[in-house]
């Protein structure tokens, strides 16, 4: 795996006496879709949030989109690592479970906001790009709708369009369908499958096993803050590992 988009070595994180991440090593190549599975409390979301430093690790090294961050003793970052954090965040996007849309902005404004405030693109051009992205996720008729008037699936698709607006090299998905009913989940998963087919590098924390089977290049299974398995879907879903088998039977 030469020149991976994501490279993690010895990543650690504890909350008090609870070791949430225990010396995690992980690589994700450009264009790969890696799905992270595991029971609740296994460290999946903490891993994802650590990769863009929304959660500061206690130690280890990570490199995302060519930007390296060394985490020192006690989670300290030197000035260069702090600079790298800012740079890597410009090349990644995060789609959250709870959408995190601005309630006072329309769908169009939500998607365009980052282009205007962060990328300093003129409003007319930003809105044109935002319209194109809303169409890409099937919401061209909802651009003037406020979040309160959108279904959960529509809100999540706006959130995906907002992430795409920043032209990220990597998108992190944190349980993007867990708050949705089955019909609305399919709306979001369809968009995610399309992104996967287009070659977008994606790291996805989810319990959607069908998506993992159909769209993932690799599946990472975590438990108690440790990577138990990292393998292609066909191997994972036929794994002789008893713990994996029990997990799959529950879902």
Give 203's strand partners.
34, 172
Q: Assess contact for 158 and 110: CB atoms under 8 A.
A: yes
Q: What is the pLDDT of residue 1?
A: 44
**Cα separation of 133 and 144, whole Å?**
14
247 pLDDT more than 80: yes
Task: Write down all domains in the chain, each with its CATH number in brackets.
Answer: 6-249 (3.40.50.300)
Note the pLDDT tens digit of each residue in 139-173.
999 999 999 999 999 999 999 999 999 999 999 99
Among 5-9, 74-78, 83-87, 132-136, whose mean pLDDT is lowest? 74-78
- Cβ within 8 Å of residue 137, ≥6 positions away: 157, 158, 160, 161, 191
DSSP 188-207: HHHHHHHHHHTT-EEEEE--
Note the pLDDT tens digit of each residue in 6-40.
999 999 999 999 999 999 999 999 999 999 999 99
């Amino acid at each position: 795996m030469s020149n991976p988009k994501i490279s993690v070595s010895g990543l650690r994180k504890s909350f008090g006496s609870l070791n949430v991440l225990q010396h995690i090593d992980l690589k994700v190549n450009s264009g790969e879709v890696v799905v992270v599975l595991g029971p609740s409390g296994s460290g999946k979301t903490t891993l994802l949030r650590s990769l863009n430093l929304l959660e500061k690790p206690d130690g280890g090294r990570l490199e995302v989109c060519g930007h390296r961050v060394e985490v020192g003793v006690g989670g300290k970052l030197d000035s260069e690592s702090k600079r790298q954090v800012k740079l890597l965040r410009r090349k990644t996007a995060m789609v959250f479970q709870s959408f995190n849309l601005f309630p006072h902005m329309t769908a169009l404004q939500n998607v365009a906001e980052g282009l205007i405030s962060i990328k300093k693109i003129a409003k007319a051009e930003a809105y044109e790009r935002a319209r194109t992205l809303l169409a890409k996720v099937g919401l061209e008729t909802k651009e003037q709708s406020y979040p309160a008037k959108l279904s959960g699936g529509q809100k999540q698709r706006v959130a995906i369009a907002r992430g795409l607006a920043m032209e990220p090299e990597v998108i992190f998905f944190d349980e993007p369908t867990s708050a949705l009913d089955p019909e609305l989940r399919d709306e979001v998963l369809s968009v995610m499958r399309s992104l996967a087919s287009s070659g977008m590098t994606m790291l996805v924390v989810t319990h959607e096993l069908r998506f993992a089977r159909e769209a993932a290049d690799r599946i990472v299974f975590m438990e108690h803050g440790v990577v138990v398995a990292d393998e292609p879907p066909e191997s994972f879903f036929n794994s002789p590992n008893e713990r994996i088998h029990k997990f799959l039977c529950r879902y």
